[in-house]
Amino acid sequence: MAALEYTAHDHVATITLNRPERLNTISRAMLDELCAALTRANEDPEVRVVVLTGTGRAFCAGLDLNEAASGTGIGTGSSFAATLDLRNTPPTVLHEIDKPVICALNGSAAGYGMDLALGCDIRIMAEDAKLAPAFVKRGVVPESGGTWFLPRMIGWAKASEIIFTGRTLSAAECLAEGLVNRTVPSAQVQAEAMHMAAEIAANAPLAVTSAKRMMRMGLEESFPTHVQHVYLQLLPLFASEDFQEGIKSFLEKRPAQFSGR
């Protein structure tokens, strides 16, 4: 049984963490597999949206600490030197891809799994799931993006409380704090994520990916610099077939049929 599964259908790629017996903890081998799956989806012109989810009762319980304790996993042996270049690690690849990514939190996420969820653009969470930022309880920091994401998402004070206490958050708390977009019964998480993915995929893919790229750049830019970049991004969009289709479908009062060209 593959520890990670990849499928694509109707412009939506689904990446599934598939170690339910280990609560979908991430092994060393899965890091490369996840990077490859994300890159594959981003480079496939037929894929417009990515859904990241897990099997079983957890989304991802973090890194595989049992593997690490055995001396074969992440953070052991020579892996420190091997992972100093973080350009091809899942958090960086996830942040850099231009396709929208929806995290379908079918169950709880802890540690690395929480950071992985926060790295997605949209989060749909099961009502009985939890987020466990237990890093400080294990003697580490949120090593895969949490210290970057949380202050930007919910402000310094709330991020400090979550990170410094390591307190587990219920789905209701996550929704109230704005960490997830919505909560639904666990049996509906996948369907809700796929419904949103289909809604996004129906839009002009060049415009969607450009919008995500501009949002990401805007996190680090001044407003004058950003609007200049947005203008430059608009020029090729004005020349696209999808722009013409968008105008034509509006005037003809019909759903647009975008080609991604």
pLDDT, one tens digit per residue, over 50-63 is 999 999 999 999 98
Q: Identify the pLDDT of residue 69.
A: 53
What number is the average pLDDT over the span 235-244?
95
Residues 180 and 234 grouped into a single domain? no
Residues 162 and 215 grouped into a single domain? no
In a domain, 67, yes or no: yes
Q: What is the CATH number of the domain that holds 244?
A: 1.10.12
In a domain, 260, yes or no: no
In a domain, 257, yes or no: no
Encode pLDDT of 109-139 as tens digits: 999 999 999 999 999 999 999 999 988 788 7
Q: Identify the pLDDT of residue 70.
A: 55
Q: How many domains would you assign to the chain? A: 2
Residues 223 and 173 grouped into a single domain? no
Encode pLDDT of 60-88 as tens digits: 999 887 765 555 555 544 444 554 567 78
**Hey, how many other C-beta atoms are within 10 angstroms of the C-beta on 219?**
9
Residues 152 and 217 grouped into a single domain? no
Encode pLDDT of 20-45 as tens digits: 999 999 998 999 999 999 999 999 99
Q: Identify the pLDDT of residue 84.
A: 56
Residues 146 and 44 grouped into a single domain? yes
Is the predicted pLDDT of residue 230 greater than 80, yes or no? Answer: yes
**C-alpha–C-alpha distance, residues 75 and 259, integer Å:** 44
pTM summary value = 0.90
SS3 state of residue 49: strand
**Domain ranges, residue 212:** 205-251
In a domain, 258, yes or no: no
Residues 172 and 111 grouped into a single domain? yes
Residues 67 and 140 grouped into a single domain? yes
Residues 46 and 67 grouped into a single domain? yes
Q: Identify the pLDDT of residue 1.
A: 78
Relative to beta strand 108-110, strand 101-105 is unpaired
What number is the average pLDDT over the span 91-99?
94
**C-alpha–C-alpha distance, residues 168 and 135, integer Å:** 11
Q: Whose CA is closest to 134, among 102, 106, 171, 109?
A: 109
**C-alpha–C-alpha distance, residues 118 and 112, integer Å:** 10
Q: What is the CATH number of the domain that holds 165?
A: 3.90.226.10
Helices (H), the chain: 28-43, 65-69, 79-82, 90-96, 112-118, 146-154, 156-165, 171-177, 189-201, 205-218, 223-238, 241-251
Is the predicted pLDDT of residue 191 greater than 90, yes or no? Answer: yes
Q: Whose CA is closest to 138, among 169, 173, 110?
A: 110
